[in-house]
Amino acid sequence: MTRLAKIYLVAVLVFLYLPILVMMAMAFNRSALYEMPFTFDLVWFKALMENERLLQASWNSVWIAAVNAVIATALGTLAAYAFARYEFRLKGLLQLLLFPPITIPWLIIGISMLIFFFWVGIGRGLHAILLGHVALSLPYVIVVVGARLRDVSVQLEEAAATLGATPQQTFRRVTLPILAPGVIAAALFAFAVSFDQFVISYFLAAPGTSTLPVEIFTAIRKGFTPEINAISTIIILVSMSLMLLVARNYRFGGER
């Protein structure tokens, strides 16, 4: 029984990883048309280093993901704190409003943003992409920080208050340090949500300036792709190590 389960799970893992590994291998293959036999070469990584468009798009992606992580984590942590520490009438409604950004298909969210931003004059471009990414990251941040806040005992905060700390001091010196692992996990999470986001960026990108996934999509549609293998390999490795970091951080956070 154990053996059978192991064999099946390994088969599932092969299905999940096979295409990714093939793509990574092809990034190091000399032939542009994915021809065999396999000849190891870094030619596509060198080509990537000279591809201004892709480099600029990568820079845009990292920059937007970082700013997005800061804004979404700040706004989300405040809201999560209100949900965890206060009872108020609109709470249920506000929590319900977190669902649309994650449950409505991104295609629909993306084009509704395009329509509205164009209509009111916000327009397209990196600023519009940032606006959209923060909206998508907020629900995740609120959930992740909220989960951590539930573990922080209210008594600690009350003890600080009894001992004469002002609410601001309590928040800064008691709540925030305990909350830190959750906040860091949420920030990494928000970074990943933004860095991987394609659909919304695709509709909000202005011609000429865009993020990495949008550039990759355009290149795939044009049909010439070995450099894309190289950049994709880098992206996969970065995303996966980022997520391992979140997993680690989260576990340690739980034990502290």
Q: Could you tell me which residues come within 8 angstroms of residue 221 by beta carbon, excluding any fewer than 6 positions away?
A: none
Residue range at the interface with another protein (CB under 8 A); choices 43-51, 83-91, 148-156, 177-185: 83-91
Q: How far is the CB of 2 from another protein (least distance, A)?
A: 6
What x-and-dash track marks residues 97-136 binding another protein by CB under 8 A? xx-xx-xxxxxxx-xxxxxxxxx-----------xx-xx-
- Interacting residues with another protein between 40 and 79 (CB under 8 A): 74-76, 78-79
Length in residues, the chain: 256
Q: Does 181 bind another protein (CB under 8 A)?
A: no
Q: Does 206 bind another protein (CB under 8 A)?
A: no
Residue range at the interface with another protein (CB under 8 A); choices 146-154, 155-163, 174-182, 197-205: 197-205
> Which of 44, 228, 249, 250 lies at the binding interface for another protein (CB under 8 A)?
228
Nearest-5° Cα angle at 27, 21 to 31? 120
Residue that the structure tokens 């009350």 belong to? 158
Q: Could you tell me which residues come within 8 angstroms of residue 164 by beta carbon, excluding any fewer than 6 positions away?
A: none
Q: Does 160 bind another protein (CB under 8 A)?
A: no
Q: Does 8 bind another protein (CB under 8 A)?
A: yes
Q: Does 162 bind another protein (CB under 8 A)?
A: no
> Between residues 159 and 243, which has the closer beta carbon with respect to another protein?
243
Residue 148, helix vs strand vs coil: helix
CA distance 256 to 247: 15
> Which of 37, 40, 52, 88 lies at the binding interface for another protein (CB under 8 A)?
88
CA 92 to chain centre: 26
In one-letter notation, the amino acid at residue 41 is D
Residue range at the interface with another protein (CB under 8 A); choices 15-23, 41-49, 157-165, 173-181: 15-23
CA 1 to chain centre: 38
Residue 176 near residue 24, CB atoms below 8 Å? no
